[in-house]
């Protein structure tokens, strides 16, 4: 899609793009005509996605990068700039969750989940910052977690929920700090999305979802990718520091009497 709602001609880094939401965001952006720089911990995993994008006529650079490794994150950003000259968008999508009851979460597990989801967002954003500002303005899109999921609780995911709450708070603060540099920072807060990880968590398969009788409690990754594209496009030029909830749940507690 070109024009105000598209990302044609931009360069976007998408972390954690070997599967799930990240893969679909990268594929959508590339189909629009964006250069996408995609990473995950396994080169061959992102190579496969880059190959599919290029086979469809898109432009993709696959880089092995663990977002818990500062040096690897710096190399990811350097590779993007070397390949495409600038960075317009950073989508902090890499995430990890290991369902465990709170009482049984070890210190190592807690730290790992926070390191990937929160510290990974910090590292990638700080590394890309100067390039987003240099390019005359850009966008950062973080992946949070729906507050409806928070209200219902996310059983066995207390570490993950805590890290995502911090990502949402970071979004607001950074949007304020970087607004004068022309960098818009926003967040998408999904509920459940049909990706391999969540299918395993919920014990459902995207293929089993009857999209005619649509189960609105589970989104498709494309429904998240469309919001990411909006947030990276000129159409959202006045949207700053927002967390957009995408969970199919109305924001009112009770249906008002009419």
Ligand X SMILES: NC(=O)c1ccc[n+]([C@@H]2O[C@H](COP(=O)([O-])OP(=O)(O)OC[C@H]3O[C@@H](n4cnc5c(N)ncnc54)[C@H](OP(=O)(O)O)[C@@H]3O)[C@@H](O)[C@H]2O)c1
85 within 8 A of 131, measured Cβ to Cβ: no
**Is the four-CA dihedral 67, 72, 77, 80 of positive or negative sign?**
negative
160 is catalytic: yes
* 35 vs 195 by CB, closer to ligand X: 195
Q: Which of 122, 160, 176, 201 is catalytic?
A: 160
Backbone phi and psi for residue 241, each to the nearest 5 degrees, phi listed first: 75, 20
* 135 vs 194 by CB, closer to ligand X: 194
Backbone phi and psi for residue 63, each to the nearest 5 degrees, phi listed first: -130, 130
* 135 vs 231 by CB, closer to ligand X: 231
* 34 vs 225 by CB, closer to ligand X: 225
140 within 8 A of 132, measured Cβ to Cβ: yes
Q: How far is the CB of 190 from ligand X (least distance, A)?
A: 4
Q: How far is the CB of 85 from ligand X (least distance, A)?
A: 24
User: CA geometry: angle at 152 spanning 149 and 158, to 5°?
Assistant: 70
Which helix (H) or strand (E) segment is 35 a member of?
strand 35-40
Q: How far is the CB of 69 from ligand X (least distance, A)?
A: 8
* 21 vs 170 by CB, closer to ligand X: 21
Q: How far is the CB of 254 from ligand X (least distance, A)?
A: 25
Q: Which of 197, 231, 37, 193 is nearest to 116 (CA)?
A: 197
247 within 8 A of 190, measured Cβ to Cβ: yes
Separation between Cα atoms, residue 72 and residue 205, nearest integer Å: 33
Q: How far is the CB of 65 from ligand X (least distance, A)?
A: 6
21 within 8 A of 190, measured Cβ to Cβ: yes
Helix axes 107-114, 158-178, angle to 10 degrees: 30
Residue number closest to ligand X, CB atom: 20
Q: Which residues form the interface with ligand X (CB under 6 A)?
A: 15-22, 39-42, 45, 65-68, 93-96, 116, 143, 145, 190, 192-193, 195-198
* 8 vs 42 by CB, closer to ligand X: 42
Q: How far is the CB of 258 from ligand X (least distance, A)?
A: 33
Q: Which of 221, 257, 189, 172 is nearest to 18 (CA)?
A: 221
Separation between Cα atoms, residue 44 and residue 54, nearest integer Å: 15
Q: Among all residues, which ones are annotated catalytic?
A: 160
């Amino acid at each position: 899609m070109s024009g105000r709602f598209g990302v044609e001609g931009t360069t976007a880094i998408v972390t954690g793009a070997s599967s799930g939401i990240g893969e679909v965001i990268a594929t959508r952006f590339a189909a629009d005509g964006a250069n996408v720089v995609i990473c995950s911990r396994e080169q061959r995993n992102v190579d496969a996605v880059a190959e599919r994008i290029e086979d469809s006529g898109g432009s993709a650079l696959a880089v092995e990068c663990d977002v818990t490794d500062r040096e690897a994150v710096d190399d990811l950003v350097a590779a993007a700039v070397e390949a495409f000259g600038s960075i317009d968008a950073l989508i902090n999508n890499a995430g990890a969750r290991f369902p465990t009851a709170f009482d049984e979460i070890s210190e190592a597990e807690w730290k790992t989940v926070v390191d990937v989801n929160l510290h990974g967002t910090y590292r990638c954003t700080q590394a890309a910052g100067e390039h987003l500002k240099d390019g005359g303005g850009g966008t950062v899109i973080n992946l949070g977690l729906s507050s409806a999921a928070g209200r219902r609780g996310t059983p066995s995911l207390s570490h993950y929920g805590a890290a995502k709450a911090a990502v949402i708070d970071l979004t607001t603060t950074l949007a304020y700090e970087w607004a004068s540099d022309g960098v818009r920072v926003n967040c998408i807060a999904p509920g459940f999305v049909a990706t391999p990880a969540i299918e395993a968590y919920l014990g459902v398969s995207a293929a089993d979802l009857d999209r005619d009788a649509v189960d609105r409690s589970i989104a498709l990754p494309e429904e998240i990718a469309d919001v990411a594209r909006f947030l990276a496009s000129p159409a959202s030029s006045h949207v700053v520091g927002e967390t957009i909830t995408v969970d199919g749940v109305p924001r009112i507690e009770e249906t008002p009497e009419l």
